[in-house]
Each structure stands twice: as C-alpha cells, then as structure tokens.
Structure 1
C-alpha cells in the first residue's frame, strides 16, 4: 500500500503494445504463447533498462484484453521513462502507444476494490458500480446455504468447484470505500455464520485473514450503516 499511496500523486503511464497478427488466436483474438513471450521479454528489458538508467519508475500492474497486454507504470520522470520505453519497444519491433493517466482514473481497472477506498481515491461516477466476483470456501452443504442467502441479496451464481470447495458468485456493487466496505461487512460475517470463509477477493490482505481459525478482522465484523445497506441491497 505504501507504493500505491506514493503513486496516487504521480502520473500513471499506460503502455499499449500492438501484437503481430500471427500472435493472436483466430477465434477470440487472445495472445498466443509466442505473443505472450514477446510481451514479457519487452517488459523484462524495459525494467532492466530503467534500472540501468536510474530512472525513478515502478511497475504497477498489467491488464489483458482487446487483443493485447497492457502494462502500467508510475514514474517521477515521464520524459525519461518514455524515451527508454520507446527504445525497448523498438528493440522488439513493437508499435507502442503510451498514455498518461491518474491513479484514480485507472484504479477501477487495476486495483482491488478495497484498495480504492483505503487510498481515498475519487472514482468517476460512471465507474463506481462494477461487476465483481466473490469467492467463498467451505463444505458443500454450507456453501449451498450461503449461495441461497446471497441469491436473496441479488448475487448471481457463477460456479461451484467440488474439488477445491469454492463457491463463486457475482454482483454489480459499488467500489468506492464506503460502498464496498458495506458490501464486505454484509457478506463476510454471513459466510462465517454458516461456517464458510470469504476467499478475500478484491481485498488488500487476501484470503488468510478470513480463515475460520482466526478472529474476524474488526473492519469486517458487521455493518454499521443500515441506511447504506438498504440502498445497496434493496431492502425495505
């Protein structure tokens, strides 16, 4: 989180690499293994070149889609970073598009929803509701009960994996700090009451904090904003 707090006041650079036609699968335009290898070779060279040049930059995230893999960096030296990035792209014959954004603008795409609230980022109104997947672990009978309870609250069943004992649900939920916090305060205690554990999807600390052998962290212990929950879950 310290890195992200620093990045909140710095420019975020989005690197879009255009793959070759033969590096995409014909059916769904995803990168082939060969295309992925060339992408990561570029990333490795870029990081090495940045370190050699002493450029104050840090890799943040990557995102897949639209027939390519995008990389996100933050830096205090935009001009220096761009020069190094373009040279690395040329070394691999990559056409490169470089865009500059704020962390708040790209946060809904690359950050866990909980981190957005922890960083107090102002998210654009049209990005504050996001389709989000939630995963839970437990015994099959308990997960079936949990699934039924979540469906009453507007969640949609995605899948159940008997081998891993994981239930996956989805819902469009708010990803601002207050809104997503209220979502977690509803579903985390609900899961625990049925002897299931939340798998930590979209949280900063991940799944271990929700193990049934551990006390539930106070921030998830229960909802305190009844009015907000009624708005989120449509209760009367």
Structure 2
C-alpha cells in the first residue's frame, strides 16, 4: 500500500524536479549513507530488510519510467542486498530471496554487475550449506530459468548478421504454465489440461464454478482475489487456444 501511495504521488506530478521526487532522492541518498551503520546492529538490520522490500515494491510500481529515478531506486536495492549478504543470517537471506523473486529480472537489466555478484554470493552460500536456506535454492533455480520469463530464440537473419552482435532474447507473449514440480508444462501437457477442462464443461468466462476449490489466502482482499481469479480464467482460455 505504501508503494501504491508513492506511485500515486508520482503520477500527480511527473516532472523530475517535483517536490516529491526531490524528497524521494534525498531519502534514498540518506538511507544508503546509513545502511552500513544499521548493519552493525542485529536489531537495526531489520530497517535494511524492510526498506529493501519496500523499495523493490516501489521499483516495480514505477517500472516504465525512462528516467534516472528508477535507476536510483535499483542502485539502492542492490546496495542493501549486498550489505545483507555480508551478514549472513536466516532473516537476511530470506529478505534477499523475497526481493529477488519480486524484482530480480528487472534488477538484472538495470544493475547487471551488482546482480551477478549477488547471485554468485547466493550460489556460494548454497554450495557451502546445501538446503540450509530453501528459498536460496528456489531463487537460483528461478534465475537460471531467466526469472520465469519464456524466451524465443528466433533471431533476425539479414546478410550482415555475421558482423552484428547477437540480439537480446525476445520475450514471448504466450503464457507459461508450470506443474507442481516447478517445471514448465509441455505443449502436449497444456493441451491435455485444456481438453480435461472441455470434458468437464468448465468455461472460466461466465461462471465462477470451482472457485470454492481454490486455495486462496484468507487475508486476501476482494480486489486481489478477483484479480487472481481473472488471471486463472485467462490462463485457461489461453490454454484452450494453444
């Protein structure tokens, strides 16, 4: 909610010299200067964890702005994560993993070198203490899978392609479905699930049948629950078309 409020204030005045953005920059600069001091105390480290998660949420809310504000937030996030890695505790590793699950893909684009160091540090921790931090293994697997983004390997093919650097992988608009084991479903498996839906007569368009079978968070508000159900319906329709 705090990140949404910040985004609302941002939308009220998009000028880079607005009072809100000036205050945000001052706050970010101050936080970065204080992080090292906070990390000296176990109690104060909570401030770094909470701020990192908040900034990650704000960072994702403001995505799409082509200006230095997004980069400044990204820099603050990866700096905080690097400091948390220097003091390895279960709480710190958990915070790092939560932040990367939320914003790892975008941070890798905005701060590639810092992210490489963070991922390398997580890999070292996982290698030294296999299974000690379950979320670390999960995040590393997600990162190896391009943060869950599906990639098309098709490249342009003009005559000068040999002399050009390879184009970055393009993201596909097709939905990606995963099974209970976390692996991507094949086209055959997706078709099978779609056929099962047709056989049982479920159509996700005008009916809410089956909603009672969803494992929803009891603390989820109505707006989030409705959005989640719409997401599932869209996934089913996409599976039927594929």
* TM-score > 0.5 by shorter chain: no
TM-score normalised by structure 1 residue count: 0.30
Highest relative contact order (Cα 8 Å, sep 6+), 1 or 2?
1
TM-score normalised by structure 2 residue count: 0.29
Bigger fraction of residues in strand? 1
Bigger fraction of residues in helix? 2
